[in-house]
Amino acid sequence: MFSKTALAKLIDHTLLRPDATEEDIIRLCEEARECHFACLMVFPSWLQVARRHLRDSDTKLGAVVAYPFGALPPACKVFETRQCISLGAAEIDVVVNIGALRSGNLDLVKREIQDVVTQAKISGLTEDGEEVMIKIIVETGMTTREEQEKVVRIAEECRADFIKTCSGCGPRGATVEDVRFLRQVAGREMGIKAAGGIRTYEHAVALINAGANRIGTSSGVAILRGYEQSQHPLPEEAMTQRPSA
């Protein structure tokens, strides 16, 4: 069993709604600061706002690239990555070219992953003195196990840091089976990020137990609240008692 703080450090606090406002982003930053989440994930256009409001926080700043469909040429993904890093992103979640992968064009998939990782490496260290982290989104709801394994092998060869299950915009979110399979293929060296549809403490724990060492969710605060309730459950009579009229 892990502590609340340890659980928070496995969570990427995420807001990737296209209708999110600056007020929403500021509130997200305040939650991240208070809860000490591992990373805050936003669209590139919100990086400057988030960077200001995360200043002196132990939560890292991250952004998505080629989100949510991955259907950009490698050069565009490299440009987005470079821009995000220049705006303060320490972690980048990039969607693999799903169409190319499903077409068997592994050369293109490898080139884009290699180019993005290389851009991250040559961009230098983050403000915390660490290398920029690259997570490759394989969209498990749209790809086969064979295709997912191929992406893992390419990501390992290119020295990406994580494989991520889903963008959250695909046909389904992360499952225990997804995480267990990716962990089996990747071994212990590569990170596995589970994302998509993770809203409860119980779901998050099941994914962590299956091998995920990062959880991407917009429900981070609720998950921590679920942790607290699991440690201090209400008495049975309180759970069954009806409120007075």
d(CA 193, CA 168): 12
CB contact at 8 A, 194 and 167: no
Structural domain span for residue 234:
4-240
Residue 181 maps to a domain: yes
Is position 128 annotated as part of the catalytic site?
no
What pLDDT was estimated at residue 235? Answer: 53
Residue 154 maps to a domain: yes
Residue 112 maps to a domain: yes
C-alpha closest to that of 12 among 60, 49, 57: 60
Amino acid at 38: A
Catalytic member of 12, 93, 161, 178: 93
Residue 110 maps to a domain: yes
Is position 193 annotated as part of the catalytic site?
yes
Residue 80 maps to a domain: yes
Residue 49 maps to a domain: yes
Residue 245 maps to a domain: no
Is position 93 annotated as part of the catalytic site?
yes
Domains: count for the chain: 1
Task: List per-residue pLDDT tens for the chain, 245 residues long.
Answer: 679 999 999 999 999 999 999 999 999 999 999 999 999 999 999 999 999 999 999 999 999 999 999 999 999 999 999 999 999 999 999 999 999 999 999 999 999 999 999 999 998 777 777 899 999 999 999 999 999 999 999 999 999 999 999 999 999 999 999 999 999 999 999 999 999 999 999 999 999 999 999 999 999 999 999 999 998 764 544 333 333 33
Q: Which residue has the tokens 């799903």?
A: 98
- CATH number of the domain at 76, please: 3.20.20.70
Residue 182 maps to a domain: yes
